[in-house]
Amino acid sequence: MTNRDNRIVRPVLDRLVKQIAELYERDIITVLVSSGSVIAGMEVLGHTDIKDKASRRQVYSAIGQPRMMRLYYNIFHDYGMKCAQVLPTKNDFDPGEHRRNMKNCYENLLSEGVIPIANEDDTVSLSHAMFSDNDELACLIAEMIDADKLIILTDIDGLYDGHPDADDSSLVEEVGINENINHFISDTKKGEAQGRGGMLSKLNYAKQSARKNIPTIIANGKSENTIIDIIDGKAVGTKVEI
């Protein structure tokens, strides 16, 4: 959802919401898991003298999350839809009251026709309460709400069998849950503004949700019609086979 300058690209979000709205018309209901709070907060605050990285993340995300939600609110509104914010921490998924409450909230939002947008509660989740990244969060939500499908979006068409920039690399269309292809993935160093996970994390959590019998696909979130194409059964992205 960002460009090379680490700025949120509204047309990408717009395309995403447009597809969610189109699916809603077809009675296919989406839960959206979206990052963006840290980058959105950095855009507002710019440089800070806060030395501690975790503290910077708290401050940036606290500033950026309402900005992300304002963007989403406006875009969903443009498509005649309503959205809502859910900000869990990892502990909330442990069996118990928080998990039950969260599940209940999702069910009620969905029955009211409101699209839940989840992100980690970065202001309070530090160290052990942190998800590895939003791919883990998406995987846990998919399992909790018994999703029919998990689509993990990224900035590339899917998983490649080598460095994505190399001429002889090609898209892996299907991968089995027990197939070890981690060596295809290059370690891309992440800056503070970028996402935490990367492709290896996407593959691991895609396999984890496929193991729970949720068909999972890694695909390009920047393409025009990715989600609709996947729902229509077109060969898009990398499918993780159950």
Ligand X SMILES: Nc1ncnc2c1ncn2[C@@H]1O[C@H](COP(=O)(O)OP(=O)(O)O)[C@@H](O)[C@H]1O
Ligand Y SMILES: N[C@@H](CCC(=O)OP(=O)(O)O)C(=O)O
- On the CB side of 234, CA atoms within 13 Å amount to 10
Is residue 6 at the binding interface for ligand X, with CB under 6 A as the rule?
no
Q: Least distance from C-beta 132 to ligand X, angstroms? A: 10
Is residue 185 at the binding interface for ligand X, with CB under 6 A as the rule?
yes
Q: Least distance from C-beta 20 to ligand X, angstroms? A: 19
User: What residues make contact with ligand Y under the rule CB under 6 A?
Assistant: 35-38, 61, 119-120, 122, 133-135, 195-197
Closest residue to ligand Y, judged by C-beta, is 195
Q: Which is nearer to ligand X, 13 or 109 (CB)?
A: 13
Q: Which residue reads 């009620």 in tokens?
A: 108
Residue 2 φ then ψ, to 5°: -120, 160
Q: Least distance from C-beta 114 to ligand X, angstroms? A: 25
Q: Which is nearer to ligand X, 19 or 134 (CB)?
A: 134
Q: Which is nearer to ligand Y, 134 or 216 (CB)?
A: 134
Kindly write out the interface string for residues 163-182 of this chain, putting x where it contacts ligand X by CB under 6 A and - elsewhere.
Answer: -x------------------
**Tokens in use for 130?**
């942190």
Q: Count Cβ atoms below 10 Å from residue 49 Cβ, excluding itself.
A: 5
Is residue 198 at the binding interface for ligand X, with CB under 6 A as the rule?
yes
Q: Kindly give the pairing relationship between strand 238-241 and strand 216-220.
A: antiparallel
Helical pair 37-45 and 53-78, crossing angle rounded to 10 deg: 100
Kindly write out the interface string for residues 123-162 of this chain, putting x where it contacts ligand X by CB under 6 A and - elsewhere.
Answer: ----------x--------------------xxx--xx--
